[in-house]
Amino acid sequence: MYTIGMYGNGFNMYRFDAPPSEIAVPAGSINRDGGYGWDVDYNCDVWSGGAGGKIRRYAYPGINLNYNTAAPEEWNIPAPFNAVERVKYIAGSDVLYISGWSGSYPNSKNDWGRVGRIICRFNNWKGGNRIANATIVLDYTNQEAPKAFDVAGDYIFAVACKEEKMWVYNNSAGNLTGIMLPGPEVNNKTGWVDVPFGTRAFKRSNGEYVILNEEDLFGKVIMYRWCPTGNCTENTLSVSPSSPTICSGQSTSITVSGANTYTWSPSTGLSSTVGNTVTANPSTTTSYTITGKDAAGVTKTIGVTVTVNSIPSTPSISKNSCNGLTSSSASDNQWYLNGSIIPGATSQYYSPTQTGNYTVEVNNGGCKSLASNVYTYNFVPLAEISGCANAINIDGKMDETAWSGTSQTLCKIIQGTGGGVTANFKTSWDNQYLYIGVDVTDASLNNSSVNIWDNSGVEIYLDMNNGKTSSYETNDFQYIIGWNNTMLFEKNNRTTGVMFKTANKTGGYISEVAIPWSTLSVIPANGITYGFDMSIDVSHASGIRTDALAWSGDGNNFQNTSKFGILTTSGNCTITSVKSDDNKPDFFTIYPNPANDKVKISFVTNTEKQVSLKVSDMLGREILTILDKQNLGAGQHEYDFVIGVQGIYFVQLSSDKNQIAKKIIINH
């Protein structure tokens, strides 16, 4: 450790006792050389300049020894100096920098403690050269000469005491390269660099310069970073692969670059602990530290972890109660059909949609198990036999005798994990309606999304010619009945005469739906088979569908009918339900649709009845009431209304327990 007095009076050297001691022990003191012309070079030799007209070097004595301050090596101050303020010796190249005053550049402002007005570079100083190889004339046009300077690489950095600037000079040619100014990070202020050694400059191995200015007005150290070439990439170690992963019993080759020599630690599982390339085969996941040293002796480190994954046990396949397949492994599965990977089939369960040979592998971070046993699956579409209806009231209760007997279970997970939801359904029919009743157990219900399919609800799919096509035909239907939503969705707005009701139950809800055969454009009869499927939308987070269950198909049911199950009518069914044409409005029309101004609604009642007519938005929020349980006589009725905000809306016409909803689009 080295110190000087506040006014440059004396220079003190200290050494430290062996650890853990933190005591500094005096190792020498120089009192005859005054001023601030001090420097300690790379070899720990102490240099002084100015006192008695001499340049002196006090040789480093070695560890735990005292400096010999009585007999330094000394030289006369060289021309052109008549006073020396600072010295800087570069030991590796034998270059001495001296700053101060001369006859041509005098101390005309009587500055004290400054660098002076010139800096001279002397190459081969110890070799005897006393002629300056470069002379730098410092800026002295403003209020002061620089307070401190330092040398790094090809440049001299000189900083003023109170001015907001630092000068950069080429130390070979002596010309001014540029001026550094403080940035907005420090409010464009440097403070006062009012200490004689207040700047230190360093050239990094990547060519970047880092300059540290110590100031004592605001009490901070300001760091400048400068890249003369504009391309000072970080000179660090790099390792490849950066995150190697192997299976138990395997090995990997690792290569490091960015230095000249390398050591690796720990040695566990390594073919060598030195060199740029090693082979690693640890038995467990192991982190290694690589230490590199470049040609300049700079040490750098980098870490690399070799992850070791175990090879999973061979899984087995069994058939589950949901007419699907189950892997014995709870996670990391990959299913195959006839030896080809099934994209996206990675859960423990898989529901086949075609006949073939199924296998499964377990993949633990790239480490695969052996293939499971081959399970030959004979795919048969799920079938529902629809019996005759008997006085069904669409009230969301499913308490009629038509709903008794064996129901179908929706247990096929087509999105997420299923959310713990369970559901069962049953169908029935007569010569006017197809009836579907669904009982859903779901403790967390949601209807906050503008998209009805992202809320809790029931989806019904119908393929009236059982065509099993890859895209929808004109006789294919998709209905969505949202929980706590009075609007009915059908992708092509074919909702004429459809009645539905959803009611809450403990831990879930029940939906009942009656779809007129006339809306489906078929004439019902005993023994006819239709394509049919159902799914349950599960929303356990606001605004999104988190999970979904299906009966037979998959997540593409809304556009592909090929994986639907089948529904077959059974019996000679005539209308027996409590509904009749006398109890509901008929001939319900809306025009124009889409509309941009006034909308006209027309409907016919064939008997006197109590009628409600309301308009709701996509969230089921009622925005307009035209009729509210108003008694109307038999005949045709027309009403006009205007909606000021464009969007998609639903017009709901209801009488007694029957209702019809139609979609209308408003454009402005």
Over 185-214, what HEC string results? HHCCCCCCCCCCCCEEEEECCCCCEEEEEE
Q: Encode 448-483: b = buried (16+ Cβ within 10 Å), e = exposed.
A: ebeebbbbbbbbbbbbbebeeeeebeebbbbbbbbb
Delimiting residues of CATH 2.60.40.1930 domain(s) in the chain: 582-666
- The fold adopted by the segment(s) 2-226 is Methylamine Dehydrogenase; Chain H (2.130.10)
Any idea what DSSP says for residue 53?
G
Residue 565, token pair as written in the block: 């199950």
The DSSP symbol for 165 reads -
Residue 197 structure tokens? 């050694």
Which pLDDT score is estimated for 582?
A: 37
What was the pLDDT predicted at 525? Answer: 85
Reported as type and span, the H/E element at residue 431 is: none
pLDDT of residue 577: 37
Architecture of domain 383-569: Sandwich (2.60)
Where do you find CATH 2.130.10.10 in the chain?
A: 2-226
Q: Give the CA-trace dihedral at 342, 347, 348, 354, to 10 degrees.
A: -30
Beta-ladder partners of 437: 426, 512
Distance CA 247, CA 261 (A): 30
Which residue carries 């420090």 as its tokens?
186
Residue 109: per-residue pLDDT: 81
Residue (of 366, 429, 363) closest to 392 by Cα position: 429
Q: pTM of whole model > 0.75?
A: no
Q: Which residue matches tokens 């490849």?
A: 240
Closest CA to 113 of 152, 157, 162: 162
Q: Do residues 510 and 554 lie in contact, with contact meaning Cβ atoms separated by under 8 Å?
A: no
Is the CB of residue 163 less than 8 Å from the CB of residue 147? no
Q: Report residues of the chain scoring pLDDT below 70.
A: 33-34, 141-144, 574-587, 619, 656-658
Domain with CATH 2.60.40.1190 in the chain: 383-569
CA angle 24, 25, 26 (to 5 degrees): 120
d(CA 47, CA 29): 13
**Range 582-666: architecture per CATH:** Sandwich (2.60)
C-alpha 320/C-alpha 330 separation (Å) is: 14
Alpha-carbon radius of gyration of the chain: 45
Domain 238-309: give its CATH superfamily: Immunoglobulins (2.60.40.10)
User: Quick check: helix, strand or coil at residue 549?
Assistant: strand
